[in-house]
């Protein structure tokens, strides 16, 4: 275990100042959403208490402060991804909206019957359903890179799937159901060699990978989508990074205030990106909260924090793997944060209910990845997902919870 001080980090999160059913909260549902540090809560509160106004059009002091906060958050997001310009950062409601924007604005207009969108067998529904929708509208089809038994991509199959009909390769950087980390840089290089643009679903990657893995200039990704709430920020805010040459050629998919250049009664012209894609009053406080979250996260000793989280995952994995009646789903060598498993003595939903009696919060279900469940022949899994504020005590609580379920269901 690293020397990282998880207890000090944990003290920055007010949510842990409570007990659940008389037990310390072992919050292992970070893959669904992360807890919020005081720095983020304070930034949102401060905005509403002191700076609240609408952005961009006001010349009064509060309007200027709100605009500076919102655009400042965009600059922080650009720095987080090492995007060449803040104009390549579009604020969305989250990963789902970012992917839908690319589907409707970038892909659909250029999709012909017989064309293909390539995905992988480990995608979240957010990176499947938008492609199903545009493909159905255009007579195109979705193809996929299959998974090996350990939950990694079958990379041998990739060259044959990168056909000249593929208009986009949409791939997750980290699987939310398996924890597998995909080799994004190599995948982008292979796709680009065939002239195929790549969208990266970074929802699970942003809080769990080093900066170099998320650097858009290093990976070469054409689009990257992520959600603020999975990286210690508020809900209702996310980021879509898009390379400027793509964004400037893309039509808006939502019309309204703030996205226009000129409006006449019978027609309008559009602003340049990113405003073109941000119609209406945006989630201002949430964007400022996201800026605070990214600043907080970049201020951590990230290497130590991630090493701590990885060590907890490794320890919990080894302990569960050694137990009879436990099957791990997703055992790739390159994986982070996610421990997915099934118990042959209890249904995941029943087990998760008993886990709560121990103060252990995990997720039970298909994790919005039904094709992954089908691939591994299970209807659902239990999923524990780790963050740097988790501790050895949380791992112990998880193991205690499994032991309790075993007692209840087998004795
Ligand atoms: N992709 C992945 C890999 C995810 O884990 C999630 C959230 N579970 C999403 C997309 C969707 O994110 P959101 O619901 O915040 O839009």
Q: Which fold has domain 6-30+301-410?
A: 3.90.1150
Residue 283: per-residue pLDDT: 98
Give the Å distances, CA to CA, from 218 to 21, 184, 207, 214: 47, 10, 18, 8
- Nearest residue to 32 (alpha-carbon basis) of 391, 401, 376, 366: 366
Residue 1: per-residue pLDDT: 45
- Nearest residue to 389 (alpha-carbon basis) of 42, 76, 25: 25
- Three-point CA angle 23, 27, 28, nearest 5°: 130
* Ligand 1 near 227 CB (within 6 A): yes
- Nearest residue to 58 (alpha-carbon basis) of 258, 255, 345: 258
* Domain-wise residue ranges, the chain: 6-30+301-410, 40-298
Residue 408: per-residue pLDDT: 95
Residue 411: per-residue pLDDT: 84
Q: Which residues of the chain have pLDDT under 70?
A: 1-3
In angstroms, what is the span from residue 229 Cα to ligand 1's centroid? 10
Q: Which fold has domain 40-298?
A: 3.40.640
In angstroms, what is the span from residue 240 Cα to ligand 1's centroid? 13
Indicate the DSSP class of residue 374: H
Q: 354 in helix, strand or coil?
A: helix
* Ligand 1 near 152 CB (within 6 A): no
Active centre residues (catalytic): 368
- Fold identical between 6-30+301-410 and 40-298? no
Contact 183, 206 (CB under 8 A): no
Residue 2: per-residue pLDDT: 47
* Ligand 1 near 30 CB (within 6 A): no
E strands in 310-362: 326-328, 338-343, 360-361
Tell me how far apart the alpha carbons of residues 321 and 317 are, in angstroms, rounded to a whole number. 6
Residue 96: per-residue pLDDT: 98
Tell me how far apart the alpha carbons of residues 36 and 11 are, in angstroms, rounded to a whole number. 11
Residue 182: per-residue pLDDT: 98
Across-strand partners of 1? none
* Ligand 1 near 385 CB (within 6 A): no
Residue 57: per-residue pLDDT: 80
- The model's pTM: 0.98
Q: What is the largest CA-CA distance in the chain?
A: 75
User: What confidence tens digit (pLDDT) does each residue in 114-130 have?
Assistant: 999 999 999 999 999 99
């Amino acid at each position: 275990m690293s020397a990282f001080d998880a207890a000090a980090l944990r003290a920055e999160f007010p949510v842990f100042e409570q007990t659940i059913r008389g037990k310390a909260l072992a919050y292992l549902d970070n893959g669904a959403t992360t807890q919020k540090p005081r720095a983020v809560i304070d930034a949102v509160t401060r905005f509403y208490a002191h700076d609240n106004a609408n952005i961009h059009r006001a010349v009064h002091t509060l309007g200027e402060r709100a605009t500076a906060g919102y655009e400042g958050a965009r600059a922080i997001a650009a720095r987080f991804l090492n995007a060449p310009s803040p104009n390549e950062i579009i604020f969305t409601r989250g990963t789902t909206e970012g992917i839908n924007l690319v589907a409707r604005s970038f892909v659909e207009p250029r999709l012909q019957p017989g064309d293909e969108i390539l995905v992988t067998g480990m995608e979240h529904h957010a990176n499947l359903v938008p492609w199903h929708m545009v493909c159905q509208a255009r007579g195109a089809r979705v193809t996929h890179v299959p998974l090996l038994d350990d939950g990694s991509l079958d990379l041998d199959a990739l060259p044959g799937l990168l056909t000249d009909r593929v208009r986009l390769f949409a791939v997750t950087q980290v699987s939310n159901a398996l924890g597998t980390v995909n080799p994004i840089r190599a995948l982008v290089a292979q796709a680009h060699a065939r002239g195929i643009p790549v969208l990266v679903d970074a929802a699970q990657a942003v809080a769990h990978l080093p900066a170099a893995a998320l650097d858009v200039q290093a990976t070469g990704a054409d689009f990257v989508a992520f959600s603020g709430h999975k990286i210690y920020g508020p809900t209702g805010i996310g980021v879509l990074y898009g390379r400027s040459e793509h964004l400037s050629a893309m039509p808006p998919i939502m019309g309204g205030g703030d996205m226009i250049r000129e409006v006449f009664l019978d027609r309008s012209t559009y602003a340049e990106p990113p405003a073109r894609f941000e119609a209406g009053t945006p989630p201002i406080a949430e964007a400022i909260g996201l800026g605070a979250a990214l600043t907080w996260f970049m201020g951590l000793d990230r290497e130590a924090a991630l090493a701590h989280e990885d060590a907890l995952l490794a320890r919990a994995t080894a302990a569960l793997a050694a137990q009879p009646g436990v099957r791990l789903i997703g055992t790739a060598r390159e994986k982070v944060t996610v421990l997915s498993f099934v118990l042959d003595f209890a249904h995941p939903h029943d087990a998760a209910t008993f886990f709560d009696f121990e103060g252990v919060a995990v997720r039970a279900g298909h994790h919005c990845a039904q094709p992954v469940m089908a691939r591994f022949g299970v209807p659902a899994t239990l999923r524990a997902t780790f963050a740097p504020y988790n501790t050895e005590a949380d791992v112990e609580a998880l193991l205690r919870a499994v032991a309790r379920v075993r007692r209840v269901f087998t004795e």
